[in-house]
């Protein structure tokens, strides 16, 4: 699917991987609705990018708020052809510690945002995409989800995060098969250690230590590199039902 002339809905689109993806798709001639929390920089980013971008405040776990964002995209730009899901959260805590077992609500919250939130958004976007006129290849839409190498190499204290991202990986193929009949492709990107606003809060020595673990290139990933892969997935019609690691050959150690 050519990006030019398409409309994307990008969650977590106000910063980091999501913002880079919004910029990449607009640079390729697309339009985008930035979906993020009300307190995010989404409105400012949309204003900066101009008429081809819009902001929709929404919690990805809310049926009503995501449905409203989908309708806003359709009313503003006429359709949705691309959905990139970057919204997510994490929690670092061992299953048990001196303070007792991990509070169940911590585990549940990460699952709710990263896994259930991703499915909530993609199911509503897919419904809207199914109404599109197919292109010459029969495509009506493309969905790109975000997992993590933690889905495969989860570290100590990452049980909630790894479980949530593992779920995103696991549902990629069955959803691609579900949506094949209506011409919608589904892929997932599993990034390694990327230079995002969350990592920017770390002290520089800790950031350098993370970068040193990556075989090559021995640096943190750059959000535009994630965005470039998301665009390629959109443009390459044979990519479907696959999870792609984007990690510089990183395999995470236990801690």
Tens of pLDDT along 34-79? 999 999 999 999 999 999 999 999 999 999 999 999 999 999 999 9
Using the predicted structure, report yes or no on whether residue 206 has a pLDDT greater than 90.
no
Instruction: Out of 77, 161, 194, 226, pick the active-site residue.
Output: 161
User: What gap in Å lies between CA 208 and CA 108, rounded to an integer?
Assistant: 32
CATH number 3.40.50.720 is the correct assignment for the domain at 7-245: yes
Per-residue pLDDT tens over the stretch 224-244:
999 999 999 999 999 999 999
Which is it for the CA torsion 43, 47, 49, 52, positive or negative? positive
At residue 107, the pLDDT reads 97
What pLDDT does 5 receive? 97
**Joined tokens for residue 141:** 């839409």
Residue 198 pLDDT more than 80?
A: no
Domain boundaries, the chain: 7-245
As given in the structure block, the two tokens for residue 13 are: 């689109």
The phi, psi pair for 156, rounded to 5°, reads -55, 130
Mean pLDDT confidence for 125-146: 97
- Catalytic (active site) residue 161: yes
Rounded percentage of the chain residues whose pLDDT exceeds 90: 90
Q: Which of 89-93, 165-169, 175-179, 185-189 has the lowest mean pLDDT?
A: 89-93
Q: How many C-beta atoms lie closer than 10 Å to residue 222's C-beta?
A: 15
Kindly report whether the global pTM for this prediction surpasses the value 0.75.
yes
Give the other-Cβ count within 10 Å of 120's Cβ. 23
**Segments in the chain forming alpha helices (H):** 16-27, 42-49, 63-77, 104-111, 117-129, 150-153, 159-179, 197-200, 204-212, 223-235
Is the model's pLDDT at 199 over the cut of 90? no
DSSP single-letter state for residue 189: E
């Amino acid at each position: 699917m050519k990006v030019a002339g398409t409309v994307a809905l990008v969650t977590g689109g106000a910063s980091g991987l999501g913002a880079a993806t919004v910029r990449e798709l607009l640079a390729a001639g697309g339009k985008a609705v930035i979906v993020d929390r009300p307190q995010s920089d989404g409105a400012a980013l949309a204003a900066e990018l101009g008429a081809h971008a819009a902001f929709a405040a929404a919690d990805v776990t809310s049926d009503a708020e995501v449905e409203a964002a989908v309708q806003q995209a359709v009313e503003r730009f006429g359709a949705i052809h691309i959905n990139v899901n970057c919204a997510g959260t994490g929690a670092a805590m061992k299953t048990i510690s001196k303070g007792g077992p991990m509070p169940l609500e911590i585990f549940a919250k990460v699952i709710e945002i990263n896994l259930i939130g991703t499915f909530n958004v993609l199911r509503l976007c897919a419904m809207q995409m199914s109404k599109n006129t197919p292109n010459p290849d029969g495509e009506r839409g493309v969905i790109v989800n975000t997992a993590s190498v933690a889905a495969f190499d989860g570290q100590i204290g990452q049980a909630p995060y790894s479980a949530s991202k593992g779920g995103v990986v696991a549902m990629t193929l069955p959803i691609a098969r579900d949506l094949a009949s209506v011409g919608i492709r589904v892929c997932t990107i599993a990034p390694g250690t990327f230079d995002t606003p969350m990592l920017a809060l770390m002290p520089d020595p800790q950031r350098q230590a993370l970068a040193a673990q990556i075989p090559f290139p021995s640096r943190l990933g750059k959000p535009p590199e994630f965005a470039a892969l998301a665009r390629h997935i959109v443009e390459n019609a044979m990519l479907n039902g696959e999870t792609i690691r984007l990690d510089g050959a990183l395999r995470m150690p236990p801690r």
